[in-house]
A and B are shown apart, each in its own frame.
Chain A
């Protein structure tokens, strides 16, 4: 700590948080983000996923602490999606920006909370970013709000751009850290399983069948994830890093069914480019503006400082909560979500439930009666869903006239193509278990 003096700390603080910087990168981000979200929401509807994921299921899996989130009605969910479309347009145009960002954040997050089996890191990222946008002045320039409220402003505090860079950086670096495990590094798993499946692709198909390719991809992936953020913030490497971003994400888009995520990342990363490069675009559209003097105070409110600090600390620590569990993370998935673990394992499972009446009589559950194929697939490898489902079964069978039904599960899971193994202790009545943060004792340890 000898090299650090208060002077340097002050300088660092100013640089990262309180210096006044041009607003343009944030404005570009606002516009691109809104366009991508607009496409995503429409694509979601066009793919029939509103019906498939929200209306068809008779039962929804929930996140811990969010069991109260109600399932939507048919009219309700369409109102939600239409409102999201309007909110996207508002954000893009910079029209009633604050209301639109707030609306988008709430509605988008609501659609994620309806059913936890739909969880994707990508959706979590969008929730976080839209949360941040509520507090960022991205409508102070190149926005209709400027005409309505005369709120044009060309300079903002550095943190108002850096918070997004930070969030993008967390995504990459934590995704890289998550890859630092022996299966990924030494066995090239799961890529060794996934890549050969792409043998039908032109040009690179043949290449995908070699295990060396899987190693190459695995290791490049780690290095990319761990380093790209730093190459993006460093001016001299930025353009090359961005090129790598584009190639990397297009490649993943080509090889895996990961939807809009690659494009969200490709466009989000433009925020790393300098104010100058962004400003040029606006000058071309609006003509060269006379320089506007910063009108903003440099000082940031204490309250804002504390909010930023707590957000940053939460983002940095939450993904490490898995350390509180001693069992194999990939097997139990305790502390797995919300931690940027993307494309890390190949997992498949099959779960068969037996409900036992107090008289000792048995029935084997037809999962299709209660779950969609997609929900069934997600449930059969994730212990919290298994418990939620078992409790629901207990209620459903009580209604069918069972007396004190007990629920047992034969669950087999294969991790990284390693052969199916029993996942849940089939002697434990799961209807008595609860889905909590406590370690789940009914999971059989990974052998």
Chain B
């Protein structure tokens, strides 16, 4: 007999196996999810969920697909939270502090309460990456925020109305496009292909009979 626990899904009590994730508990209880379910693997941020365990005053946040149920868990799914996403042209912006001031000025109203960090479903140091964004340190902001799944829980807890995931998204794109070092070998190869440098080689390979291709494949040299 498997161990069962009592949970409160959107306030209603159900008895579910203790081994289940919160997402599994919803399905066990009879929900066929439409919202609040995406990759089921911790990468997409669709299943942001807040919960409180009876007797504990702290409100926790998690991803429903990544969190196991415990007894007396009060669970509310938060599959959508309205964040602000500013529209910009990536070709026209410059990676300076000014761009944050223009697009996301509310980050400068951060009161340092750290509620964002405490609520992060990925255990990121959210307040720290916002601090980097304030200072225009986009490389650091990109690194600190890299594992963000954009679930939006941080924004739901922010008294300053900051849309943290979108701020980080901008910082990562600025870093990826403008600040990270360019790859000379990549640019060279793109030019070589455009100049047709590999056409002869490709043609020669592709016209070989199957038996010869098999022979080549089975005895090809593998880089160590």
- Check if A and B associate: no
Chain B residues proximal to chain A, CB less than 8 Å: none
Chain A residues proximal to chain B, CB less than 8 Å: none
